Structure formats: structure tokens, C-alpha cells
Amino acid sequence: MPNSRFYKLDQEKKDLIIRTALKEFSIKSFNQASINQISKNAGLSAGNLYYYFENKEDLYMTVVDYLLITLEFELNNFTASLSKGYFWEVIKTWLLKKVMISIKDKDIGNFFSKLSQYNTSSEMSLIEKNIKAKVRNDFRSVFDIGVKKGAIRSDLPMDFLFTLHLNLVITTHQWISANWNLFENNDMSTEEIKQFVDNAIELIKSAMQPIN
């Protein structure tokens, strides 16, 4: 967590630091991202971020927390909604919100897409591996709710079904990230975006729902 000096900054300065760090982490790996570059782009002297954050890991986690707050994703609240509502409709509503936010803010979209891509490259930092593992575990919690509610099939090995479900979701995120130009250039209207999300969820649903 940032130290007290960070919280004493005015909101505009805090937002500038977080947004600058978000942009750096959205286009570079954790190891490649530069504290000095972030400091410079935020109008601070080289390395001055260490005055506000314990280390680069601390800054990275602050960006992750900012992202989750912006996307309004808090696992307990989200899983509670899933448990109460129709599983696929809740998923569809959340994905649409995520897509709309990402369209308006490419840095958030790119960073979220990176978090969703699960891999264990030897070049990846430990903190990135831990965050990606947490994202995978959160996906598993959502998947398990779908199974319990009867929205996801259970006639095949659970690990296989989960991997299939996760890869379908990741592929959707990757396609969106690779095709920002369609959204940014207004080639797709809001209704077309909603239809895309509907179709994407229906595709995932068709593969994952129980066979009657």
C-alpha cells in the first residue's frame, strides 16, 4: 500500500501518478516498466515515486487495485450477484460494462487483458505470476458457482471444463484488445457492441451449458 505521503497529495496529482503508472504497465511487462520513466511522465524527479511507494511492486498493486475499483469488480460482491441472479445474464452484464469501460479507456483495457492472460514464462516477475494466479482463482470461483447453479455442465472432468471456459473468456478479451480500432473509430455503434457481447456470451454458453 502507498504510504501516508501519497494520500496527502491532492486528488489530481494522485490520479496523474496512478494513470501514468497504468499506462506504463499496460504496454510493458513488470520487469521492463521503468520507475524513472513513470516519475518523469508524472512530472516528478527521477525515482521520486519511492517517496510515495515502498517499491515497484507496491506501485503495481496500487494500479491493480485502481483497476478493480474502476471496473467495480470485488469478488465477494460479484459472486453474490451470480448466486442471486441468472448466471449468464450477470456475466453478460459485467462483460458489457468491462467492454464499454475498456473502449473509453484503452490503457485499462490493455492492462485488464494482460491480467487475464495466464502463462508462467520464466521472464515474468513473481508479482505478475501471483496476480495472474489470483485472477485464475477468481475465474475458478465464478466457474464453480456456474456449476452449482446448473448453468455450466458437469459431465466432463472439471479441470478440462474450467480450462475450456477460461480459454473462451480469454480469447474474447484478446480479440477485443486486438481490435480496438473498430471501437475507437466508432465503426461499431453501442447497439452493435451490445450485440457482440450477447453473441460472445451465447457462444461461451453454448459450449458450457448442460446438454439436455
DSSP letters along 104-170, please? H-HHHHHHHHHHH-----TTS-HHHHHHHHHHHHHHHHHHHHHHHTTSS--SS-HHHHHHHHHHHHH
Q: Are 202 and 135 part of one and the same domain?
A: yes
Chain centre distance of CA 33:
18
Average pLDDT, the chain: 83
Q: Are residues 143 and 201 in the same domain?
A: yes
143 contacts: CB under 8 Å, gap ≥ 6: 152, 161, 162, 165, 166
Domain tally for the chain? 2
Residue 173 in contact with residue 113, Cβ under 8 Å?
yes
Asked if 9 and 56 sit in the same domain, the reply is yes
Indicate if 152 and 188 belong to the same structural domain: yes
pLDDT for residue 21: 94
Task: Please give the residue that has the higher pLDDT: either 39 or 128.
Answer: 39
Q: What percent of the chain has pLDDT over 70?
A: 87
pLDDT tens profile 68-123: 777 665 555 667 777 777 889 888 888 888 788 877 888 887 887 777 665 655 56
State the number of CA atoms in the 13 A half-sphere of 47 facing the CB.
0
pLDDT for the residue numbered 23: 93
162 or 135, which is more confident? 162
- Which domain does 82 fall in, by range? 73-208
pLDDT reading at 155 higher than 90 = yes
- What's the pLDDT score for residue 151? 92
Residue 149: pLDDT over 80: yes
Are residues 100 and 182 part of one domain? yes
Question: Residue 208: is its pLDDT beyond 90?
Answer: yes
**Of 26, 57, 177, 37, which is closest to residue 129 (Cα–Cα)?**
57
Helix, strand, coil percentages (3-state) for the chain, rounded to 5, are 75, 0, 25
CATH at residue 16: 1.10.10.60
The whole-number average pLDDT for the span 194-207 is 91
- Stated pTM of the model: 0.75
Band (pLDDT 50/70/90 cuts) for residue 201 is very high
Rounded CA gap, 170 and 118, in Å? 9
Both 96 and 173 in one domain: the answer is yes
Q: Are residues 126 and 149 in the same domain?
A: yes
Considering only 12-16, 113-117, 128-132, 189-193, which range has the smallest mean pLDDT? 113-117
| DSSP one-letter code for 53 | S
Do residue 118 and residue 203 come from a single domain? yes
Residues 150, 46, single domain; the answer is no
**60 and 86 in one domain?**
no
Q: Are 16 and 115 contained in the same domain?
A: no
> Do 201 and 91 form a contact (C-beta atoms < 8 A)?
yes
Q: Are residues 51 and 121 in the same domain?
A: no
Q: How confident is the model at residue 188, as a pLDDT?
A: 65
Distance CA 66, CA 135 (A): 15
The reported pLDDT for the residue numbered 51 is 87
pLDDT band at residue 184 using 50, 70 and 90 as cut-offs: low
From 26, 46, 67, the end of a domain falls on: 67
Q: Where is the domain boundary, 67, 88, 119?
A: 67
Q: State which of 67, 96, 120 marks the end of a domain.
A: 67
pLDDT at 164: 92
